[in-house]
Structures are given as structure tokens and as C-alpha cells.
Structure 1
Amino acid sequence: MGHKKIIISALMMLALPIWVLAQRIHYSDPGRDDYRQVNFEIIGKVSSNIVIYKNYRSKNDLSIFDNEMKLKDKINLDFLPDKLINVDFVPYPDFFYMIYQYQKRNIVYCNVVKMDAAGQKLVGPVEIDTTQIGGASDNKIYSTIYSEDKQHIMVFKINKRNERNYFFTTLLYNDKMEFRKKSRLQVTMSKKDAVFSDFIVDNDGDFVFTRCSRNGSRDNISRMDLMIKPAMADSFRVNDIPLTNNFLDEVKIKADNINKTYLLSSLYYKQRRGNVEGLYIAIWDKAQNRVKAENYTIFNDELKEDAKSENTSAKTAFNDYFIRQVLPKKDGGFMIVAELFFTSSRGNNWNRYDYLYSPYSMSPYSSYNSYWSPYGMYGNPWNRWNYGSSTRYYSENIALFSFDPNASIEWSNILHKSQFDDNSSDALSYLIYNTGGEINFLYNQLERRVRLLSEQSVTPNGSVKRSPTLKNLDKDFEFLPKYGKQVGARQVVMPCMYRNYICFAKIDF
């Protein structure tokens, strides 16, 4: 009898529509004040709740959703000041930290508060640091980064005294926000046209970035140093990495905490402002304090032909690609994800160098004797921006590259997509979610004048699998994939537009 029940249950499961087994989507109800212009950040899954921060003008709220995206509570963060400059979040399984900064007269304050899954204060607000500035300013001064295991949290600021002298102040905390170390360090640039890479803190609490030099303010990188400040040290270890007469684009750095290495990557050129030739890779070994492996991978004609945009030649195929992610693998190898992105404007030609070295990039342009924020506003939903009403945005193919622990390429492939929009890039690009066995990409694809959420996945050997358009989609909701977040093993939360309102969808795969 028991065997019959099992067989009947199995047959019933097979009879279900495929989309029931593939994914479930729950939408939140848009609130009356969740206008299109609202700033937001998906903090993540805290205990059993989905917690989302929202800001509109001087109003700051936490929306607490249940597992079906029903609003459980809306918490008014009345302890936050009206003139808030920036907010960062460090989420944990059952609580999160909110680190925020604001200005009062000529003082910028940086505070932290610990909150639970219901949006209630557990500790704080507690003042972390203050900075005196000259005159009125709404610029972000403090930046917050944290290690992959979230055992180290760093708040830092950079004071630019002149074109060649930068003074770093770093504040290191543990996962309980207990103070560990404060350091003040000077970084001198050999040339005034300098640029930094991403800033990271690894699982040992070490602060790491690259210092790069260019031959001009809109030129390629011709020199690079790897800067490492050990957690409890008060100085940088400066490591020159020769580029052998090649020129780099934007340098990306990622900590491989399992294998104790730093992964450096960039698109590269053989001549200044020429065409992109391939990928530069360097693997820095922490224990041996040296470059463990290095490689210049040249893109072949077949790959260029597959990667190019419709109106470009194979020779210039990668000129508008940008490295978006560096994904370490357990064996010491890693995967690089790059995306084709460009814009067109009336009377203005698209310029890669203006995009890279704008005020929103890692290029330290600011007035003398002022504080400079390395992250600016690009890519942060809390400060979405665009070029203006006459701009069309294009977000197209995704290039994937897998490298072994010796920096040699294992495989490459192209995920084909075609996206464009006028006035805003919010609905373009993609969201990555990792299921362990595959890397999955979610993005909008235009079908019959309607943007539908589509999916492609990549296996460890580089095979690309295109899934059917996601089912059970409500056509009245337009997804904003690049602002989404993976909150579980097979679960993502993604913002979407409903008419002129922001709401959120939870997708279970």
C-alpha cells in the first residue's frame, strides 16, 4: 500500500506544470510612497525575514517582509538625521549593522547601529569617527568594506592634500564591532594622473588595493603597485608589478581567501588607447609575498567575432567590455565575467575613458585638501544616476573566462543578450546567482515589446544552457536585475517597477 502511495505521488509531481517545479515568484505590494525615485537597498534575509531599506528625501524606513513578501512591518528610522549622506549595511544571519554618515555644520559624523530581524535597535547608535571639513558639503567621506567571512569590518577615509599625496585613515573592527586597530598612512603618487583599484579587506583583516599610474588623465594604465596593509600594521607593503610595455584598462582585485591569494585582472592593450587585445591576469601569493602566476591572454578572432556587437567589427569587439565580476574557485582557479556596455547621446560620442574616469569611478579627482570617496555613486541603487534625457543605454553580450591556478585559460564562452533603454539603465544588465553546480544569469529580454525575465546558466566546463523564459511572470511588473541579491541557496530578491512604483519580488528556483 505504501509503495502505491509513493508511485501516485510521483505521478502527480510529473503531472504538474514545469514552471511549478522550476520557480515560484512572490511580489510585494507597492506602497503609496514607494515612488520610482525612492532609494533602496536589499539588506538580505535576516532570520526568516526579508529586510529592505528605503529612503525618499528625508524619510528613512525598513520594510520587513515574510517569506511570501507580505509586509509584516514598516519601521520608521526616526533616529537618523534629516541630512543623511550615505548608509552601508553589513548583514548577518540574525542581525545587521547599519553604518551611516551625516553632516552637522562643518563636521561629518560616522555612526553605527546594530539591528535585529524585526528592525529594532539592539545597540547604538554609537559614534565611530568624526571629520571636520571646510564649508558645506554633502560628499561621502567614509567608505565601509568587510571581509568575505564578515569577521572583519573596515571603515576608512582618504584625504587628498594635493595631486600626489593621499592620507588614509583606517578603522578596523571585528564582527561584534569591537575596535581593533586605527591607522593613519600616507600614499604618494609618482605621477599626478593616478587611479586606484577596488579596495578590499581579506579574511585576515588585511587592507589591499592597487595604485596605478597613467600617462594622462584619459589614458591607459602604464604602472601598477599592489598595496597591502596587514591588519595590525601601520604601513603599506608596496609591491611593484611590471607590465612589460603593455597598458591596462581598469584593474579589478579579488581576495581568494581559501587559497590565500589576490587575483588581479584587467583588459589590456599593446599600445596606448589602442584596441583591447585580451586579458591580463596576475595571482599574488600571500605566503610567498610574490606573483605566483601571470599571463597575458590574447583574444582570438573566433572569440572576437562571437563577442562583438551588431554594429562593430571583430577587431574592436572588446573595446566596450567591462569586467563585472571575478569569481574564485576552490582549486585556486577563477572565473571572470565581463559585459558589453555603451551609450549613445545626441551630439556626444560614447567615450570609454570618460566612463571609467568620471567622478563615479576609482579615479581620485577632487579639489585639493579635501576628502575623496573611492566609490562615488555608480552602481549603487541608493544613488542611481544617468547621463540625461537624451541618452540611450546598451547592455549586450556577457563574456566568460575560466582560468586555472596557474593563470592559464581553460575555456571561454559568450552569453548572447541584447538590451537597450532610453534615459535610464535600471532595467538593463543582469543578476548572478550561484547554485554550487552552475552560475546562473538573470536578465530582461525584449519579447513582443515586453521585457521578460530570462535565464542562462554556465556549467563548470563552460557549457552554456539557455533556459526558457521564466514562467508565472506578471507582465505588469518590470524587473531591475542588477540591483537584486541572492539571499539563499536557490533564492533571490529583485526590485521591480509596477507602473510608477518600486516593489520587490522573491524568486525561489
Structure 2
Amino acid sequence: MIRLFLLLSFVLLFGIDVWSQTITYSTKQKITSKTARFSIIGKNNDGIVLRRYGKTTNILDIFDDNLSYKYSVPINPRRQNAFTKGILLNQFGATTLFLAPEKDFMILYARVLKQKFEIAGSTEIPLDTVFDGKDNTIQNYRYVLSKDRSKILLYCPVYKGNEAIYIQMKVYTRDLLLLQKKRINIKEDIRSETLSFHPVIKNNGEAVLYIINSTKADKTAFAINDIHQHHLTYNGYIYKKLKFQTTAFGNVSFKYDEENKRVCMAGLVSDGNKKSKRSSTGYFINFINADSSKIEVQEIKKYRSAFMYELTGKDSTKHNGQLSTFDLKKVVLRKDGGAIIILESYFTENDQISFQSRNHPSFTNFRTYNVFYYNDVICYSFNPNGKEQWHSILRKKQISENDNGIYSSFGLLTEQDELNFLYLDEIFYSANVNLYILDSDGKLRRKSLFNQGDENIMAIPRLAKQISKDVILIPSLRKNMLSMVKIEL
């Protein structure tokens, strides 16, 4: 069913723009224990694809453009105890990737499903072999697609105890033609539990693996000692050690800019003081030339006093100017070679409530519950030289209990000159699904899309999927009933 919504009330009171859009809802289906997890895969010529899955079950549900149900296809691997790692949509059908255990090793297979995801006649093609335990391999095996989705990089660190001893990498075309392969041995002098691995792949099939050698500063901060760059090219393998030292806080991101031929490395920094509260004091952003492997831009900045006052309302000249709950969430590349880094505030608390026992009224019992907080979002925009051009603060306050925060945070959708942040204004059945629209100059607008209570749904914006320039899909889960919402902006 399709409805046209127009928000007319509370416009001036809440600062929300009047806006109309077409919204389509799918029928609801019950989630079972065998398929308790789900994700929107995307859209191809067969239709819109929703995956429902569990430990041993994988099902694809196919819908037409109006979200009318068409058919379902089970895609369980034929091999016993196999684990599905990914589903890549083709023009028709899909390619599934799954790991299957042997006696002392694991094999990664691919299976190409033709039009309408037809399983009959499909063959299992071995792509890679990993000599490590089942649990380690399932946890550590990863793949990355090039921007044009024509190449796929497979990589997996292999461990001895808690230390990675080597990493194996392979590059395939989407037709499963092997282009490159390399086993990268990790030098004994840098082996540690704190190594982190960051791969990127180019449209031409060249791949780069960045290994951060670091030591722990505290539970969330770590001192970056150096960066080891391993470059797989068609002219051979190139290794280079990059000099960059700082104390990083939380996540570090590497993202390849295909248009400008360089890699953006970004994260938050800490003062490294073990006695101080876990927090960041600023950010860093580096741009690495993908051909010369030279760090062309290197910027480390502390949060400015004016920004801290804007964010917290407190005079930062009288305190240390630190953020304890924000972490790097995403990095978005700009067309001109710059970048936007997105931070979000997140933390949890454990609370207890007391209640009287029915059987023993004189005794007081306690129940513990977890509270999840997802609050403000900060966007910093940098020019190609790494200089901050603007920042914007997206205000939100999301609080939920015992749900792992699944309905909180945001979904990020991109248009030509805008970033769209999809979120719930509160974690409640009758909440509004809202949109923050951030333009290329840092100007911010907020719009309300619809009230989910009107349709008896509970949207999950963080799992939203953009299937075209102005069409987004959002999954909904309420009382074990799964559905999708399609919004045409």
C-alpha cells in the first residue's frame, strides 16, 4: 500500500520543515528462531532483496518495486557446518560466499545463483584456504569491494595464540577470475595483540593493506608507533613503512578515494594520560598518495574552545576540553579530495530496580537492566589540504533499555551535495522518523518523514539501505513482525 504524507502541524514550534514524500509499506512476516537476524541486501533486476538468516538457515525474500512480496529462496550452503560470509547481488541473481570446515583448515567457497536466485545447476567454487581454527577464521575473514563493485579483495589474518603471524590476501573479479594473491608475513618485532588491519582496493584491482603497530595506552586509547603499508600491484609487491605517531582514541578509518587517488586516514586523539578519564582531546586526518605512498597531508588538532562551548554549553577554558563519549562513526569522501568525519556520542549504563517477591513479601529482589544512550552527532568537513572548513552538530537524544540499541543511532544516505541522517526522535513505538539534511556548506535542516505509530511499525534506521539516488529502504521489527518501509524523497 502507498500513502502520501504531508506534515502540517508543529512546524514552527519544533523547527521541522513541511515536507511530502511517498511512503510504501511491505506486508509483515513473523520472525522465527531459525531466522532471527535480517538485513536488506539491495535491489537488482530480480527485485528488492531481504535476507533472513540464523545459524543454519539462509532465506532470501524478493519484493517488487511496490514492496509486494514475490517469492522466497532458501540459499543454505550444501556443505555441513558452513557459514555464510556475504551475499553480493549481480545484475540478475547473486554470488554467495561461505566458509566450510575441513579437518585442519577452512575453505572459502563462492556459489553463483542465476536469475531469480536459482540454485539448481549452481556449483561451489573454492576461492581460498585458511589454515586456522573454525572460530578464528569465521571471526577474522573479511572481504572488501572496489567502489565500482567490479573487484573483490579477500583477506584473513592467521593467528598463533593471540598474535597474528601472517595475512593472506587475494583479489578476484566479480566473475571470480583470480587477479592477485599474496601471503604477508608479520615481522616478529611488531607482533602483538594490538595490531589492526585496514585494507583498501582500487577499481583496477590493486590492493593496499595498512597495518597499525600500536601499544595500549588504556582501555580505549592506543599509541600508534608506525604504519606498515603492503601494496599489491600488477608490477609486483611494494612494502613501505609510514611514519606517523600519535595516541589514538577509539576507531581509526582508512578509506580509498578513487577519483583523487589517495587514502584518507582519520581518527580521534587522546592525551594518553592513564590517570584521566577515557576521552578524546581532538582529531587527526591524513591523506596518503596511493601511487607514491607518501603522506601528503598530516593534521592533528585539538578541539577548539568555541566548539566545546557550542557542544556542551560550558566554558572550555575552565576545563580540559575532552569528549568522553564520542567516537569516530564514519568517513565520507568529498569530490574535491577532502573528507567529512562523523562522530557520535554513545555509552551504556547498568541500572537496578527493586521489587517485592510475591512468595516472600518481606524480601526485596533486584533486577538489572542495560540502558543504551545514543546522543549527538558531530560532522567535521576538511578541504584537500586537511584544514577544517566547517563543523555541524546534529542534536538527538536516544535512550533505550535491554535492546542493544538496535533502534538507536542513525542511517546515513548520500545525495550529490547532501548527507542525510535518518533517525528516530525517541525510542518509542509512536516516535517520528526524522531526517537531518546536511549540505556541502555545513548548513543543517531537519524534516519529519512519518510517525511510525500510525502504521504499527518500529523502524531500524541504522539498517537502512539506499537503493537509488532518492529511494531508501528501512527495516522494521515490532513484536517479532518484520517488514520494510520504502521512502521516495
TM-score class, shorter: 0.7 to 0.9
The answer to whether residue 421 in structure 2 is matched with residue 446 in structure 1 is: no
Alpha-carbon offset, residue 389 of structure 1: 6.8
2:95 aligns with: 97
Quick check: 1:38–1:502 contact (8 Å CA) kept in 2? no
Equivalent-residue separation in structure 1 for 2:374 and 2:427 (angstroms): 16
The verdict on how the C-alpha distance between 1:69 and 1:446 changes in structure 2, with shifts beyond 3 A counting, is same
RMSD: 3.1
* Unmatched runs of 5 consecutive residues or more in structure 2: 9-17, 353-366
**How many Å apart are 1:255 and its aligned residue?**
0.5
Overall identity of the aligned pairs, in %: 16
Aligned to 1:263: 264
- Greater shift, 245-254 or 62-71, is seen at 245-254
Structure 2 vs 1, CA of residues 202 and 448 (structure 1 numbering), >3 Å: closer, same or farther? Answer: closer
CA contact (8 A) 2:154 2:170 kept: yes
1:406 partner amino acid: N
Task: Specify the alignment match of 2:308 in structure 1.
Answer: 304
Task: Indicate the SS of the match to 2:426.
Answer: strand
* 1:328-364 deviation digits (Å, cap 9, x = unpaired): 11111111111111111249xxxxxxxxxxxxxxxxx
Query: Secondary structure of 2:474's partner?
Result: strand
Instruction: Give 1:240's aligned amino acid.
Output: L
Counterpart residue number, 1:56: 54
Pair 1:199–1:222, CA change in 2 (3 A):
same
Q: CA deviation at 1:272?
A: 3.4
Contact map agreement 2:380 2:390 (CA 8 A) in 1: yes
1:502 maps to 482
Matches within 5 A, 1:463-502: 463-470=443-450, 474-502=454-482
Contact 1:193-1:217 within 8 A present in 2 as well: no
| Structural mapping, 1:341-490, within 5 Å | 341-346=346-351, 390-423=369-402, 424-446=404-426, 450-470=430-450, 474-490=454-470
Change (3 A) 1:116 1:297: farther
**Does the 8 Å contact 1:166/1:187 carry over to 2?**
yes
- Give the structure 1 partner of residue 211 of structure 2: 210
Instruction: State the Cα distance separating 1:28 from its structure 2 match.
Output: 2.0
Change (3 A) 1:197 1:322: farther
- The question of whether the paired residues in 1 share the 8 Å contact of 2:190 and 2:213 is answered with no
Normalised TM-score (structure 1): 0.80
Contact 2:56 2:76 in 1 (8 A): no
Matches within 5 A, 1:91-240: 91-116=89-114, 118-121=116-119, 123-133=122-132, 139-161=138-160, 165-188=164-187, 190=190, 192-204=192-204, 205-215=206-216, 218=219, 219-232=221-234, 235=237, 237-240=239-242
Aligned length in residues: 453
**Residues 303/470 of structure 1: CA separation in 2 closer, same or farther (3 Å cut):** farther
Rounded Cα–Cα distance in structure 1 between residues aligned with 2:216 and 2:57? 45
Q: Is the 8 A contact 2:249 2:280 kept in 1?
A: no
Q: 1:376 corresponds to which residue?
A: none
Cα deviation, residue 38, structure 1: 1.4
User: Is the Cα–Cα contact under 8 Å of residues 164 and 192 in structure 2 kept in the other structure?
Assistant: no
Q: Does the residue aligned with 1:477 lie in a helix, a strand or coil? A: coil
Structure 2: how far apart are the matches of 1:331 and 1:134? Answer: 44
Among candidates 43, 49, 61, match of residue 41 of structure 2: 43
For structure 1, the residue ranges without an aligned partner over 5 or more in a row are: 1-14, 348-387
Write the distance in 1 (CA, Å) between the matches of 2:101 and 2:22. 44
SS at 1:258's partner residue? Answer: coil
Greater per-residue strand proportion: 2
Q: TM-score, normalised by structure 2?
A: 0.83
Structure 2 SS opposite 1:318: coil
Q: Specify which of 311, 322, 329 is matched with residue 324 of structure 1.
A: 329
Distance 1:226 1:251 in 2: 15
User: Are residue 85 (structure 1) and residue 87 (structure 2) matched?
Assistant: no
**Alpha-carbon shift at residue 257 of structure 1 (Å):** 0.8
